[in-house]
């Protein structure tokens, strides 16, 4: 499918979604969000693509936030509708069976920070910066920032960032656990490619179930989550992928997983 504001590159076992509005610092307008929803749903149906990276065009911004010109004209009902739309996009990413990697190459502010938080992990350029500055506009994060940020870095630090609206460096984001790796700008996509390929070589059913268990387990008691893990382990033991993976290990050869 052709898109006006995003580009999708099929790299074989993984894909790269690029938000392509560098003149607007890749801001998330409702049109961009709609295209991203379509793209994520399309990618979900492609079994050959096992890992997805998300980045922004140019070297200034991953996503500098939502489209402020659009937000200026919102009222109560239209504002809630935009927040619901953005929330739906990030829920799709978070619940996908495929791992998503945020490749943050510049500003990840507001909706950009929220988009990164919905991904499974975040790699950042040393020139990147993060923040939830919505309070400076008289609003709050609307795409899940108040919830995902607190769950990722803790309530106190999330309050400090959201209530101050401050922007922090990539190194500070790494220190507090907001991102997972920081590399030189020219090494960002190399690092993302490396981890994407390593994940893609693993059993796709196992990767999908591990992602789901880690996510849903956060809202369960430990005993319930452990029971679910045990049942999932048992279910995976009956798959063709388990038979292939164990045989390949014993035969000292690379596994060829089929997702069955």
Render pLDDT for 146-198 as a digit per residue (tens, 0 to 9).
Answer: 999 999 999 999 999 999 999 999 999 999 999 999 999 999 999 999 999 99
Instruction: State the pLDDT at residue 37.
Output: 97
Instruction: State the pLDDT at residue 2.
Output: 84
Tell me the average pLDDT of the chain: 95
Instruction: State the pLDDT at residue 66.
Output: 86
Look up residue 66 and give its DSSP letter: B
Asked whether the beta carbons of 255 and 249 are under 8 A apart, the reply is: yes
- Whether 257 maps to a domain, the answer reads no
When pLDDT is cut at 50, 70 and 90, the band that residue 1 belongs to is confident
How would you classify residue 252: left for phi > 0, otherwise alpha for psi between -120 and 50, otherwise beta?
A: left
- Whether 256 maps to a domain, the answer reads no
Domain shared by 217 and 194, yes or no: no
The pTM assigned to this predicted structure is 0.94
* CATH code of 32's domain: 3.90.226.10
Residue 42 annotated among the catalytic residues of the structure: no
Give every CB contact of residue 208 below 8 A, 6+ residues apart in sequence. Answer: 97, 98
| Average confidence (pLDDT) over 250-254 | 94
What's the total number of domains in the chain?
2
Residue 70 annotated among the catalytic residues of the structure: no
From 80, 114, 209, 244, active-site residue:
114
From 134, 160, 172, 240, active-site residue:
134
């Amino acid at each position: 499918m052709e898109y006006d504001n995003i580009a999708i590159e099929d790299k074989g076992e993984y894909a790269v979604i690029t938000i392509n509005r560098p003149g607007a610092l890749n801001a998330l307008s409702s049109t961009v969000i709609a295209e991203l929803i379509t793209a994520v749903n399309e990618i979900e149906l492609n079994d050959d693509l096992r890992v997805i990276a998300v980045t922004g065009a140019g070297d200034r911004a991953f996503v500098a936030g939502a489209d402020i010109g659009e937000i200026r004209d919102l009222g109560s009902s239209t504002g809630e509708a935009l927040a619901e739309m953005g929330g739906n996009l990030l829920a799709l990413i978070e619940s996908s069976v495929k791992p998503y990697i945020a490749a943050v190459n510049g500003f990840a502010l507001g909706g950009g920070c929220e988009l990164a938080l919905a991904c499974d992990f975040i790699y950042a350029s040393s020139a990147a910066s993060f923040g939830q500055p919505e309070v400076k506009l008289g609003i709050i994060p609307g795409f899940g920032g108040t919830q995902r940020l607190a769950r990722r870095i803790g309530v106190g630090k999330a309050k400090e960032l959201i209530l101050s609206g401050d922007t922090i460096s990539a190194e500070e984001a790494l220190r507090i656990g907001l991102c997972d790796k920081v590399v030189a700008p020219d090494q960002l996509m190399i690092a993302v490619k490396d981890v994407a390929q390593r994940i893609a070589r693993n059993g796709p059913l196992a990767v999908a179930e591990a992602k789901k268990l880690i996510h849903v387990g956060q809202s369960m008691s430990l005993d319930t989550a452990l029971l679910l893990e045990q049942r999932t382990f048992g279910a995976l033991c009956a798959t063709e992928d388990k038979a292939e993976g164990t045989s390949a290990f014993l035969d000292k050869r690379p596994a060829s997983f089929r997702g069955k």
